[in-house]
Amino acid sequence: MTPKDRLIERFKALCKRHGVDVIAREIRANVDNLKQIIAGTKLPSGAPRGVGPTLQRKLEAKYPNWADSDIPRAPGKKFEDRHEVNESDWATLQAVKTVLSDKELTEIRERAAEIERRVEERLAQVKRRV
């Protein structure tokens, strides 16, 4: 498999997991162009459309390591921004804020960040072994 084919396969996996429409909106890309990559639409040269450098940068910004990992990560939500979470998540956040103090919420966020950092370190170690 060529590097171009590998990127296309990883892109297809990412779209299967999150939905091409969601990804297009998140990275501000034309959904029809992304669907053409998935469908294998040929360019005038006869080669299939690929995941070019600009698209790779946009994907990496929203989905870090999307091309390297077997399971692409979803972009993190900004729970401070009402428009980035659904009604249920927003209601849950509002309820939690009434139960927990700001200090407790900060501690939880710090612990979550530390856990995420450890997971990333462990994944990097495993990746180096492979």
How confident is the model at residue 38, as a pLDDT?
93
Q: Is 42 helix (H, G, I), strand (E, B) or coil?
A: strand
How confident is the model at residue 37, as a pLDDT?
94
The structural domains of the chain, with segments of one domain joined by +, span: 1-76, 77-130
Torsion over CA: 105, 23, 15, 9 (sign): negative
How confident is the chain (130 residues) per 10-residue block, as mean pLDDT?
A: 87 92 92 94 88 90 79 50 62 70 80 90 86
In angstroms, the CA 33 to CA 38 distance is 9
How confident is the model at residue 22, as a pLDDT?
92
CA-based nearest residue to 7, from 59, 80, 46: 59
How confident is the model at residue 4, as a pLDDT?
86
In angstroms, the CA 43 to CA 52 distance is 13
